[in-house]
Amino acid sequence: MKKIKTDVLIIGAGPVGLFAVFELGQLGIKSCIVDCLDEIGGQCSALYPEKPIYDIPAYPVIRGDELVENLRKQIEPFKPEIFLNQRVDRISKNKDFFEILTSENINLSAKCIIIAAGNGAFGPNKPPLGGLDEYENKTLFYNVRDKSIFEKKSIAIAGGGDSAADWAIELSKKAKKVFFIHRRTNLRAAPNSVEKLYQLEKKKKIEMVIPYQLDSILGSKGKIDKIRLRKTDGNEKLIDVDYFLPFFGLSANLGPIKNWELEIEKNVLKVDKSTCETSKKGIFAIGDICSYPGKLKLILTGFAEAAVAAQNCYKNVFPEKVLHFEYSTTKGITKLT
């Protein structure tokens, strides 16, 4: 069994978890990360690497993979150990330390824990169609990792939320045609995005196929030829497409976190807004996995929570020291040895 000793364990290597490494490092606190995925970046890497993000300060627009790469560079001076492809199975308190065991039999000890696990383990909600596995990762994708493959191609996008609308708008710039499929006339996407969809329909870049439900996929050997759609009145419609992108959201599971005796409400962890500490002393939660009155589920909110949690971890890591707040412009980058 491999044993690791650190100051703070961060659970989750998404953008918020990565930024927590920086905030801790600036305070002279060592940290390591455990994540169940095979790469850092969380959903930004696994599901939306090429999706443009517009609400990161100082970046009018930045792709998910670019944001993750910038965060990776930002935390380099602090040399965090990162353990991927494994989850945290058990946590127990031993005097002043937490003892942590991962699914790969790594034993960690830490004075604090920061949970930045997003919505927990996640995966796409799949459409209720038979034979999907024949086409998955060939001509059917639940995320966009390389926009270039859709250039001058016909694409069917199904869903009524922001992901479906955002990708329809984005891919219409490269695609030959985009079919936007939804079973209801009302879309859940942001009103300005819905307006853009109909503007693009007037330009014949997008065809709004509403209200239609998915019926079946026609094709062979992983290649989609057509998608059959059906209205509630029984009328059918066949559309010729090269690719199919269903965006029906994610199914999330908190997994072992549910067994750690933390206060949970509606599948998220309740925290003290002033400290980001959970119901158990020394365990903090930041990002989408935490909740408090007035919480906004935004990456920039998670970044601020990372700073708050780091400041409060300091008291546990260095109980004999007084923390004197300094701006980064004054102290520069603190390199851990």
Number of Cα atoms under 13 Å in the Cβ half of residue 270: 8
**What is the structure's pLDDT at 331?**
73
Q: Residue 160 corresponds to which amino acid?
A: G
CA separation for the pair 310, 22 (Å, rounded)? 9
Report the CATH fold assignment for 126-246: FAD/NAD(P)-binding domain (3.50.50)
CA distance to 45, 298, 335, per residue, from 189 (Å): 22, 16, 43
Q: At 80, is the pLDDT very low, low, confident or very high (cuts 50, 70, 90)?
A: very high
Tokens for 260?
């750690």
**What is the structure's pLDDT at 46?**
74
Is pLDDT larger for residue 334 or for residue 157? 157
- Runs of H (alpha helix) within 140-274: 162-171, 191-202
| Phi–psi pair at 39, nearest 5 degrees | -150, 160
Is the CB of residue 207 less than 8 Å from the CB of residue 177? yes
**Letter string b/e over residues 259-298, b meaning 16 or more CB atoms within 10 A of that residue's CB:** ebebebeeebbbbeeeebbbebebbbbbbbbbbeeeeeee
Cα dihedral 75, 32, 298, 47 sign? positive
- Name the DSSP class of 323: P
**What is the structure's pLDDT at 75?**
97
**What is the structure's pLDDT at 22?**
97
For the whole model, what pTM was predicted? 0.74
Q: At 337, is the pLDDT very low, low, confident or very high (cuts 50, 70, 90)?
A: low
- Name the DSSP class of 278: -
**Strand 81-83 to 31-34 pairing:** parallel
CA max distance for the chain: 74
Domain ranges of the chain: 2-123+250-331, 126-246
Question: Could you name the CATH architecture of 2-123+250-331?
Answer: 3-Layer(bba) Sandwich (3.50)
- Name the DSSP class of 140: B
- Per residue in 172-217, pLDDT (tens digit) is 999 999 999 999 999 999 899 999 999 999 999 999 999 999 999 9
Taking the mean position of all CA atoms in its chain, how far away is CA 212?
A: 29
Is pLDDT larger for residue 1 or for residue 246? 246
CA separation for the pair 157, 153 (Å, rounded)? 13
CB-count exposure of residue 61 (10 Å: 0-12, 13-18, 19+): exposed
- Per residue in 297-307, pLDDT (tens digit) is 999 999 999 99
Same CATH topology for 2-123+250-331 and 126-246: the answer is yes
Nearest to 13 by CA among 36, 31, 64, 2: 36
Instruction: Quote the Cα angle for 257-263-268, to 5°.
Output: 60
**What is the structure's pLDDT at 122?**
63
**What is the structure's pLDDT at 23?**
97
